[in-house]
Structure formats: C-alpha cells, structure tokens
C-alpha cells in the first residue's frame, strides 16, 4: 500500500491571477500527514481546505470558499500536486486568486520538483471504481469506468471551428503528467475575450498565458498536438484533487465536452 507524501522544503512563486489580474505571492510548505491541501489566505487569516465541500463556483474556473473568503483558480496547482503524487501541502497566498503563470501546471511541477518530495508513513485511502458511472448535463458527459490505473480520456468537440475534434487518452503517472499534461495551457476564443472582460473575468489573460483560438488559426503557437484537450485532462485532475485525502483514484475517466461543473459533480459522486 502506498503512503502519503508532502514536499521537503518551502518554495515560493508569484504572478497575476488570470481573472482578477491581481498580483499574488504563493508559498508552498510541507504539511503533516492527513492535512490534505490547505490554502491559507495570509491577508485574511483564513484557512480554506481544498475539498469538494468548499467549492462555490465552477464558471470558467473553480472557486473554493470558507467563511466568505475565496480562493479562485486553484485547479492547475491542485492538478500539479495530484499529478506529482503530493497528498499534503500548505499553500499560503496573499490574495484571492492563484497566479496563472504560463497558463499550464508546469511552473507548479517545477516548484514541487525543486522543493523535493517527502514520503510520510501514513497510508493513503485510495478510491477504486467498481462499476461504470456517468453524469450528463445538456451536451456534456463525464464517465468513470473500472480500470487498473488512473486514466483520463477527453473528447473535445470544436468541429464548428478550424480546431475540429481532439481526442486524447493518458494513463496518469508522475512521468506522463509531467510530459503530456502539465505543459498544456489554458485556452479560449478570441471572440470571447471582450465578453469575459465585461464580466470582470480574464483581466490577467494574454498571449503569454493562454492559447487563443482565432477565426482561422491560433493567435499564438500550440506547445503540443491536442494541447486544448490535454488541458481539459489537466483541469479534470485538478478538480478530482478536491477529493482531498481520498486518493489515488483507480479508474478511467472519460470526458466529452465536460468542464469544471461536471468534473466537480464527478468528484462529489466519488466521495459518496
């Protein structure tokens, strides 16, 4: 049976939030067994556990709230922790939104690797999927089926634009996470940018931290084939990390057009 982990030493990162546009300073610190991932808003003196019961919004990004104090866009950091097998972590942040950095999970993976991984003695409590389950919302579906490992398959249907259909399937290990999932950046449509700004979203978004889909081509260069669908896998992993200490999950997740809402619904289903 595998045991829990944390990081070996403290490490800091800073950057702007993609929606708030606010500068954030983040420190990742080692945590005791059974802590899970715990956010501390140092400007408010509030602790916010990264668990499904603290999710309050899933529009565009996931928001966690405790005592009226929020953490926005934690999913790429949570995906990095999950993908690298980190169970326990204290994340101290001085504002409401986790920095977007380059739009992917890679800077968080590098921070974790620089800090080093510490194995603890406490056993994990894994989730094994015994029967297939699906959640459907309008034209979106997420399913999980029994498997010997954690695998994520995603079908992205952008057949109405030049992108077409992207299908990816990755067995999640720390190695595959680092090479195939972590580098995939967040993305959006050029045509949506103005509307997002009007809703007070995407104020920190630009071509350095998101892959932007224009009318006939990308406005910047994709890092990898199927980067859009691979980022969707990254988001699924970040939202499944909200199962907290119930990890690792052994099952095959299949997303079709799904996003944070269905991802967090699946996490809710697996919790019970």
Distance (Å, rounded) from C-alpha 71 to C-alpha 164? 34
* Residues binding Zn ion: number (CB under 5 A): 2
- Provide the minimum distance between the beta carbon of 238 and Zn ion in the complex, in angstroms, as a whole number: 7
- Provide the minimum distance between the beta carbon of 205 and Zn ion in the complex, in angstroms, as a whole number: 12
In this structure, are residues 260 and 142 in contact, taking their beta carbons and an 8 Å threshold?
no
Instruction: Tell me the β-bridge partners of 19.
Output: none
Residue with Cβ nearer Zn ion (51 or 186): 186
Task: Select the span of 20-28, 81-89, 128-136, 184-192 touching Zn ion (CB under 5 A).
Answer: 184-192
- Provide the minimum distance between the beta carbon of 36 and Zn ion in the complex, in angstroms, as a whole number: 21
Residue with Cβ nearer Zn ion (9 or 207): 207
- Provide the minimum distance between the beta carbon of 214 and Zn ion in the complex, in angstroms, as a whole number: 20
Closest CA to 187 of 130, 239, 226, 135: 226
Closest CA to 117 of 109, 125, 107: 109
* Integer CA distances (angstroms), 167 to 110, 188, 227, in order: 27, 18, 10
Residue 199: how many CB atoms within 10 A of its CB? 10
Strands 23-29 and 89-93: antiparallel
Binding status of residue 73 toward Zn ion by CB under 5 A: no
Task: Select the span of 41-49, 151-159, 186-194, 241-249 touching Zn ion (CB under 5 A).
Answer: 186-194
Closest CA to 77 of 13, 30, 172: 13
Residue with Cβ nearer Zn ion (180 or 235): 235
Backbone angles phi, psi at 111, to 5 degrees: -60, -45
Residue with Cβ nearer Zn ion (87 or 235): 235
57 labelled catalytic: no
> Which of 4, 5, 95, 186 forms a contact with Zn ion (CB under 5 A)?
186
> Which of 112, 235, 239, 242 forms a contact with Zn ion (CB under 5 A)?
235
Sites of contact with Zn ion (CB under 5 A): 186, 235
């Amino acid at each position: 049976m595998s045991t829990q982990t944390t990081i070996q030493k403290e490490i800091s990162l800073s950057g702007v939030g993609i929606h708030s546009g606010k500068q954030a300073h983040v420190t990742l610190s080692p945590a005791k067994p059974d802590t899970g991932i715990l956010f501390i808003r140092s400007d408010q003196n509030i602790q916010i556990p990264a668990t499904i019961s603290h999710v309050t919004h899933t529009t565009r990004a996931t928001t966690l709230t405790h005592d009226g104090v929020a953490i926005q866009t934690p999913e790429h950091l949570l995906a990095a922790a999950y993908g690298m097998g980190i169970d326990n972590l204290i994340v101290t942040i001085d504002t409401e939104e986790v920095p977007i950095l380059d739009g992917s999970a890679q800077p968080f993976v590098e921070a974790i690797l620089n800090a080093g991984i510490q194995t603890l003695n406490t056993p994990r409590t894994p989730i094994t999927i015994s029967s297939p389950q699906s959640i459907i919302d309008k034209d979106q579906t997420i399913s999980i089926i029994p498997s010997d490992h954690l695998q994520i398959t995603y079908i992205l249907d952008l057949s109405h634009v030049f992108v077409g259909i992207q299908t990816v399937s990755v067995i999640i290990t720390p190695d595959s996470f680092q090479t195939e999932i972590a580098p995939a950046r967040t993305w959006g449509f050029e045509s949506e940018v103005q509307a997002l700004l009007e809703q007070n979203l995407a104020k920190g978004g630009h071509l350095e931290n998101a892959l932007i889909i224009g009318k006939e081509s990308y406005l910047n260069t994709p890092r990898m084939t199927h980067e859009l669908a691979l980022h969707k896998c990254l988001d699924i992993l970040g939202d499944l990390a909200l199962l907290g200490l119930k990890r690792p999950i052994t099952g095959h997740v299949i997303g079709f057009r799904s996003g944070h809402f269905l991802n967090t619904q699946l996490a809710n289903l697996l919790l019970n």
